[in-house]
Amino acid sequence: MTRLLGPRSRWTGLWSWSLVVLVILVAAAPSFASSQLVILATTDVHANIYPWDYYANRADDGVGLALIDTLVQRVRSEHPQALLFDNGDTIQGTPLGYFVARVRPLQPGKVHPVIDVLNRMGYDAATIGNHEFNYGLPFLEQVLAGARFPVVLANVYRPGTNQPYFTPYVLLRRELDGRPLTVGVIGFTPPQILVWDRSNLQGRVEAGDIVEAARRFVPEMRAQGADVVVALAHTGASPASRWAPGSLQENAAYSLATEVPGIDVVVAGHSHVSIPGKGLPDAPDGVVGKTVIVQPGFWGHELGMVTLELEPRAEGGWRVVGRKAQLLPTKGVAPSARVMEWARQAHETTVAYVTSPIGETLVRIDSRASRWADTALIQWINDVQRRYVERALEGTQWEGVPVLSAAAPFKAGRGGEQDYTDIRPGPITIADVASAYLYDNTVKAIRITGAELKAWLERAALNFEQVTPGSGQQPLVSARWPSYNFDQIDGVRYAIDVTRPPGQRIVELTFEGRPVKPDEWFILATNNYRADGGGGFPATGKDARVVLDPLVESRQLLIDSVVEARTIAPHPDGNWHLVHNYLDHPQAGPVYDLVDRGVFLGVATDGQRLGQLDLDEALTQSAWAEMVERALDVRIPVSAPEAVVTGRQAVESLAGVVQLPGLEVADVGLTRADGAQLLSAVLAVLEAVPAR
- What pLDDT digit, counting tens, does each position of 609-624 carry? 888 999 999 999 999 9
Q: 534-556 pLDDT, tens per residue?
A: 999 999 999 999 999 887 889 98
pLDDT of res. 606:
58
Question: 651 and 687: one domain?
Answer: yes
The verdict on 204 and 66 lying in the same domain is yes
Tell me, what's the pLDDT at 551? 77
Which DSSP symbol is given to 187?
E
Most confident of the following: 5-9, 463-467, 601-605, 636-640:
463-467
As a dihedral over the C-alpha atoms of residue 32, residue 34, residue 35, residue 40, rounded to 10 degrees, the angle is 140
- Asked, for residue 14, whether it belongs to a domain, the answer is no
Same domain, 394 and 406: yes
Q: Strands 291-294 and 265-267: what pairing?
A: parallel
Q: Is residue 30 part of a domain?
A: no
Q: What is the mean pLDDT of residues 38-58?
A: 95
Confidence of residue 123 (pLDDT cuts 50, 70, 90): very high
Does the pLDDT value for residue 560 go beyond 50?
yes
**Arithmetic mean of pLDDT over the chain:** 91
pLDDT for 607 equals 63
Last residue of a domain, one of 306, 325, 349: 349
The verdict on 554 and 617 lying in the same domain is: no
Coil, strand or helix: which one is 230? strand
Is residue 405 within 8 A of residue 524, CB to CB? The reply is yes
pLDDT of 633 over the 60 cut: yes
Q: What is the pLDDT of residues 403-446, one digit of tens each?
A: 999 999 999 887 777 789 999 999 999 999 999 998 889 999 99
CATH of the domain at 562: 3.90.780.10
pLDDT at 681 over 70: yes
Whether residue 13 is predicted with pLDDT greater than 70 in this model: the reply is no
Shared domain for 506 and 595, answered yes or no, is: no
Asked whether the predicted pLDDT for residue 307 surpasses 70, the reply is: yes
pTM of the predicted protein model: 0.74
Residue 106 shares a structural domain with residue 223? yes
Mean pLDDT throughout 647-674?
Answer: 82
Give me the mean pLDDT over the 647-660 stretch: 83
Q: How does residue 97 score in pLDDT terms, banded at 50, 70 and 90?
A: very high
Q: Domain check: are 575 and 619 in the same one?
A: no
Same-domain check for residues 39 and 181: yes
On whether residue 177 sits in a domain, the answer given is yes
Q: Is residue 37 scored above 80 in pLDDT?
A: yes
Instruction: Please report whether residue 316 resides in a domain.
Output: yes
Residue predicted with more confidence, 438 or 492: 492
pLDDT score at 6: 41
pLDDT at residue 142 tops 90: yes
- Cα(169)–Cα(185) distance, rounded to whole angstroms? 5
The answer on 366 and 218 residing in a single domain is no
Bridging pattern class, strands 228-233 and 179-188: parallel
On the question of pLDDT at 603 being above 80, the answer is no
Q: pLDDT class for 285, splitting at 50, 70, 90?
A: very high
> For 257-332, where are the E strands, in sequence order?
265-267, 287-288, 291-294, 302-312, 318-329
Same domain, residue pair 570 and 635: no
Would you say residue 504 has pLDDT above 70? yes
> For the residues 245-272, what does the mean pLDDT come to?
95
Q: Are 524 and 444 in contact (CB under 8 A)?
A: no
Total tally of structural domains belonging to the chain: 3
- Give 46's pLDDT tier (boundaries 50, 70, 90): very high
Q: Please give the pLDDT value at position 664.
A: 66
Residue 663 scores a pLDDT above 70: no
Q: Are 149 and 124 in contact (CB under 8 A)?
A: yes
Long-range contact list for 396-399, CB < 8 A, 24+ apart?
Answer: 396/547, 398/447, 398/523, 398/547, 398/548
For residue 11, the model assigns a pLDDT of 37
Mean per-residue pLDDT for 298-326?
A: 96
Instruction: Answer yes or no: is 260 within a domain.
Output: yes
pLDDT score of 10: 38
Domain co-membership, 563 together with 594: no
Mean pLDDT of 507-534: 97
Q: Give the residue from 330, 312, 329 showing the smallest Cα distance to 321.
A: 312
Q: What per-residue confidence (pLDDT) applies to 418?
A: 79
pLDDT-derived band at 242 (thresholds 50, 70, 90) equals confident
Q: CA nearest 458: which of 396, 557, 404, 535? A: 535
Residue 8 pLDDT > 80: no
Mark which of 533, 562, 582 sits at the end of a domain: 582
Final residue of a structural domain among 536, 564, 582: 582
Least confident of 357-366, 416-425, 510-519: 416-425
What sections of 53-175 are H helices per DSSP? 65-78, 95-98, 113-121, 137-144
Looking at residue 673, what is its pLDDT? 95
Who contacts 570 (Cβ-Cβ below 8 Å, separation ≥6)? 361, 363, 365, 376, 377, 379, 380, 383
With respect to residue 15, please indicate whether it lies within any of the assigned structural domains: no
pLDDT classification of 604: cutoffs 50, 70, 90: low
Instruction: Check residue 24 and give its pLDDT.
Output: 37
Task: Judge whether 71 and 344 are in contact, CB under 8 Å.
Answer: no
- Give percent above pLDDT 70 in the chain: 93
Element (H, E) at 623: helix 621-632
- Containing structural domain, residue 253: 35-349
Higher pLDDT, 55 or 544: 544
Has residue 470 been placed in a domain? yes
Distance (Å, whole) CA 497 – CA 578: 6
- Please compute the mean of the pLDDT values over residues 508-512 and round it to a whole number: 97
Alpha-carbon separation of residue 1 from 4, 6, 8, 9, 160 (angstroms):
10, 16, 20, 18, 94
On whether both 294 and 433 belong to a single domain, the answer is no
The reported pLDDT for the residue numbered 15 is 40
For position 32, what pLDDT does the model report?
Answer: 59
- 13 is a domain residue: no
pLDDT digits (tens, 9 = 90+) for 189-201: 999 999 888 888 9
For 246, the 3-state DSSP assignment is coil
CB neighbours of 176 closer than 8 A, spacing ≥ 6? Answer: 35, 37, 81, 310, 318
